[in-house]
Amino acid sequence: MLDPAPLRVLIVEDGPITRAIFERYVAKHPGLSLSASVATAADAAGALSHGDVDLVILDVELPDASGFAIARRLGPDVPFVVTTTTEDYAMDGFRYRAADYLLKPVGYRRFSEAVDRAARLRRSPPPRP
């Protein structure tokens, strides 16, 4: 059986250090490839318009919009993982069907667990109620 193609990841993170860390994590993970890495919701919208995104790593607090505004634009076949510094957005994460919720700072092991979960959801989504 052939291994599935790596998931193309869009990172949406306004913090340059955290964004660089996530970029390294994506490069390290064998099931992922980086599609784009952006700092604003506007740039994320541009990256999503190209249609080459399979998974989004999504900061909730962006300078120009809530990350959940981006989540609303995602189709049901594009899972996303919420990243934030607070638990305050957990209920919204569930409401928007986030694959996982990461509290910063995020270590590689926890990042890997989250993206693996998202990959499983993408490859075999749960039935809709």
pLDDT score, position 1: 42
Return mean pLDDT, the chain.
91
Residue 128 has pLDDT above 70, yes or no: no
For 61-100, give one letter per residue: b (16+ CB within 10 A) or e: ebeeebbbebbeebeeebbbbbbbeeeebeebbeebebbb
Q: pTM of the full predicted structure?
A: 0.92
pLDDT at 129 over 70: no
Distances (CA, A) of 112 to 1, 62, 81, 91: 23, 23, 11, 22
For residue 50, what pLDDT is reported? Answer: 87
What pLDDT score was predicted for residue 123?
A: 76
